[in-house]
Amino acid sequence: MRPQTCQIEYLGFGQPQTPNELKIEVAGLEHLISIAQERIAAFKQSLLIAEMVIEERSSEVKND
C-alpha cells in the first residue's frame, strides 16, 4: 500500500485583498482546520479500537 495525495477543499481567496475577502479566507481556513481535526479524531479512535482488539486477542491466546 502506498500513500496518496489527499486534499480537502475550502472556499477562500488565493490572494485576499479586502477585509471581506480576508474574513472569507479566515473562515474557510477555520472550517478546513475543523474538518482536519474531525478526521484526525476519527483516525485516533479507530487506532485505539484496533489496538484494544489486538491486545484482547493477544491476552486470549496467552490464556489458552
pTM over 0.85: no
Which residue range(s) make up the domain with 38?
A: 25-64
Residue 1 belongs to a domain: no
Contacts 24+ apart (CB under 8 A), 50-58: none
Alpha-carbon gap, residue 24 to 18, rounded angstroms: 10
Alpha-carbon gap, residue 36 to 38, rounded angstroms: 5
Residue 38 belongs to a domain: yes
What pLDDT score does 62 carry? 80
Residue 4 belongs to a domain: no
Residue 47 belongs to a domain: yes
Per-residue pLDDT tens digits for 30-39: 999 999 999 9
Per-residue pLDDT tens digits for 6-64: 888 888 898 999 999 999 999 999 999 999 999 999 999 999 999 999 999 988 888 77
- DSSP 8-class letter at 14: S
Residue 17 belongs to a domain: no
For the chain, what is the domain count? 1
CA-wise closest residue to 24 among 11, 39, 36: 11
What pLDDT score does 9 carry? 85
